[in-house]
Structure 1
Amino acid sequence: MAKQQAAFQALVELAHRSRRAAKGLPAQVDITPHWSGVGFSLLGMHFVSPMGVVSEMLEVPPYTRLPGVQPWVRGVANVRGRLLPLFDLAAFFGGRLQTHRKLRRVLILEAGGLYSGLIVDRVFGMQHFPVDTYTTDLSGINAELRSLVSGSYELDEQRWWVLNPATLAENARFVNAAKL
């Protein structure tokens, strides 16, 4: 019985020492919710599009030019057995792509009956922004882009414009790409 009592006392002493040596829980930090999107550059600015709109990103594939279309329509490409119309988004807005061809990427959209590829200068992948940095102030964005931009986020002193390319399906000039 004395051995059992000694073993119990040893366990009690071990429990007391453990409690004295235990560190407290870390301070509770307020967690800010984040909004995520696909980041890309165009016309010298940074943009981000909602995750659900951009279904894929890829290098600019070989494509076939189309006759009788606007100059910002680059042509069609065969992507896994589907014909993908390719559009130079910078040219659509009156500018031009600013990076080397190897850096350019295509954002594939599949939203609202729109299946198309938008050629942009560069893609940065997923970006995450604290929701409290969002603003609807559109000063600093040109009038052509305002119909597609809903606001912006600020991250590391960089403004990221929120552009929903699915709204291009509602743009009459984009939908009617034939030369007049």
Structure 2
Amino acid sequence: PLQETHQQDWVGIGFRMGDQRFVAPIGEIAEILHEPRHAVMPGVKFWVAGVANLRGRLLPLMDLCGFFGHELTSARKQRRVMVVEYNDIFAGLVVDEVFGMQRFSQLSLIPHTPQDVDQRLVPFLRGQFIREQAWQIFSPWALVQSADFMDLAS
């Protein structure tokens, strides 16, 4: 008898920075929030938006667009915060928009990064999927481990 083959779908959280779409591995995002009220912190890089209280935990908020040298393009009500927990790191990445869970066929993964991508993004990209347009695979865990991200003081 013929055996049916089941391909494993790749599942991630879709989000937008500027006019580019990205998808983060679902296991690298702890939760998604509306942009919370936050206190501005003095003496930090311009892309550190501030710190918020998330159920009794201090959540540093980082403007992901700002980190990569771009401006947030959406209105505050459309922005979202992707909360990342990796080892001892707890951070909120502010993005223009979140599209929720995205599924892609594992077979459609293109493992290399296109050459026309902003070079500042390359260390954090893990390939792409194409569905109407490119969805770059962005690793928040790679970002929060980078020396540039950890260097918050201005």
TM-score by length of 1: 0.80
* 1:146 is the counterpart of 2:122: yes
Within a 5 Å distance, the mapping from 1:6-45 to structure 2 comes to: 31-45=6-20
Aligned partner of 1:136 in structure 2 is 111
> Aligned equivalents of 1:170 and 1:115: distance in 2?
11
- Runs of 4+ that moved beyond 6 A: none
Identical amino acids, percent of aligned pairs: 40
Number of residue equivalences: 152
- Higher helix proportion (structure 1 or 2): 1
Amino acid paired to 1:76: V
- Higher strand proportion (structure 1 or 2): 2
> Aligned equivalents of 2:49 and 2:82: distance in 1?
14
Does structure 2 conserve the Cα–Cα contact (< 8 Å) formed by 1:84 and 1:117?
yes
Q: Deviation per CA, 1:84-141, whole angstroms, max 9, x where unpaired? A: 0000000000001111111000000011321000000000110000011111231131
Unaligned runs of 5+ in 2: none
* 1:50 is the counterpart of 2:25: yes
Return the structure number with greater relative CO, CA threshold 8 A, min gap 6.
2
Q: CA deviation at 1:31?
A: 4.0
Instruction: Specify the SS of the correspondent of 2:32.
Output: strand
State which of 92, 100, 111 in structure 1 corresponds to 2:67: 92
TM-score by length of 2: 0.93
Unaligned runs of 5+ in 1: 1-27
Instruction: Specify the SS of the correspondent of 1:159.
Output: strand
